[in-house]
Amino acid sequence: MVHVQKIAESPKGEDIFKVTLESGPYTVQILNLGATIQSLIVPDRDGKKRDIVLGFEDPFEYLGHSAYFGQVVGRFANRIKDAAFTLNDRTYKLDANDGKNSLHSGSANWGWRLWAIEPFEWEEKPGVVLSITSQAGEGGFPGSVTATVSYLLDGESGQLRLEYEATASEETPMNLTNHSYFNLAGAGSGTILHHDVQLFCDRYVEVDDHAIPTGKVLGVEQTPFDFRKSKAVGLEIKEAGGYDHCFILSDERSELRPAATVYDPSSGRMMEIFTTLPSLQFYTSNF
């Protein structure tokens, strides 16, 4: 089932909608503000349902919030050193919002924008496509961009599928992601240090004290970054200084392949992550 509800108006008088997708025992609520996953309700081993993502009931609390809860951030997620890059022999200056660096595209972050919505059903599975247009020069980036993200909920398999597409009028950096924070024991239930995590990665990208890549790709063996076998998040988190690192899978694929699993022993909930992309970002909210 798909249900669309107007829940507020933006400071500019634009409509803010909540789209609810229900399939089997699962429910996901998505805002057109930032294409944000506001809640994801999942049963535990005993059938008890809890919301497993962090966020706000009031949509206005998402505006400008530095945690980026549940948003689709873009056009470039993560950091760009010194808030500048060079492309085709031209240097582009960006918004500096993380010290001297640019984080999640600065003030031009799509997670604070209103997206157009188009609900749909596919083979009796509920879904929604959200779309956005970014003009050339926004945040300092070249080229106009049209992007979409689609959510499809399959209650039979317990799968929430996200697909991203983007086209640009000229070459431009593009790096989209969903910035949800997960607690499989349930939002507000405490720490996730007891969650067991497995990452199907044997390398990671080294970063400096400002979380900027150094250019080195290191092996995980005999380091706190070795999650090739499932282990508790908190087991070596102090030695690692917290996790906010890019882990390397291998190469880009045309088909989905396993990237990670997360398991909460207290509830029995397990999340399996699949991707076509060559890496994933593992973040434990260290800031």
Contact 134, 167 (CB under 8 A): no
pLDDT 10s digits, 168-182: 999 999 999 999 999
Question: What's residue 64's pLDDT?
Answer: 83
Question: What's residue 113's pLDDT?
Answer: 96
Question: What's residue 269's pLDDT?
Answer: 99
C-alpha distance from residue 154 to each of 133, 151, 235 (Å): 28, 10, 34
The domain boundary, picked from 181, 204, 226, lies at 181
Same domain, 84 and 153: yes
Cis peptide bond prior to 75, omega within 30° of 0: yes
Report if pTM > 0.85.
yes
Same domain, 5 and 72: yes
**Domain membership of residue 68 as a residue range:** 1-181
8-state DSSP, 105: T
Same domain, 277 and 177: no
Question: What's residue 252's pLDDT?
Answer: 78
pLDDT 10s digits, 172-208: 999 999 999 999 999 999 999 999 999 999 999 999 9
Contact 148, 156 (CB under 8 A): no
Burial of 119 (0-12, 13-18, 19+ CB in 10 A): middle
Same domain, 203 and 272: yes
**pLDDT tops 80 at residue 287:** no
Same domain, 92 and 67: yes
- Count up the domains in the chain and report the number: 2
